[in-house]
């Protein structure tokens, strides 16, 4: 078991959303799309970012992805099917 600072961090994660206001600022972030302050777990991970999370929350990011897929579905499906054919041919 870990000791010291990690115990307080793990304990903070056990709080439910009702006590979100008492969490350390490190465990919360503001979505740059909707502007809401949310738990770090509400943001997808992104190792290229200093904080390790995307700047948009999962909800906003999912909405963006759905709009993109709706606008580009034929091209996406064509690309995926071509990739699958290539994988089968290389077996």
**18-49 in b/e burial notation, b at 16+ Cβ within 10 A?**
eeeeeeeeeeebebeeeeeebbeebbeeeeee
Task: Catalogue all structural domains in the chain, each as residue range(s) with its CATH number.
Answer: 25-89 (3.30.60)
Q: What is the pLDDT of residues 7-39, one digit of tens each?
A: 444 444 444 444 555 656 568 899 999 999 999
Q: What is the pLDDT of residues 35-83, one digit of tens each?
A: 999 999 999 999 999 889 999 999 999 999 999 999 999 999 999 999 9
Give Cα 65 distance to the centre of its chain.
Answer: 12
| pTM passes above 0.85 | no
Q: Supply angle C-alpha 49, 52, 56, rounded to 5.
A: 75
């Amino acid at each position: 078991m870990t000791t010291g600072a990690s115990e307080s961090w793990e304990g903070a994660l056990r709080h439910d959303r009702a006590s979100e206001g008492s969490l350390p600022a490190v465990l919360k972030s503001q979505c740059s799309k909707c502007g809401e302050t949310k738990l770090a777990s509400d943001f997808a991970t992104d190792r290229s970012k200093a904080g390790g999370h995307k700047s948009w929350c999962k909800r906003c990011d999912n909405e963006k992805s759905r709009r993109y897929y709706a606008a580009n579905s034929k091209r996406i499906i064509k690309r995926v099917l071509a990739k699958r054919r290539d994988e089968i041919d290389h077996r």
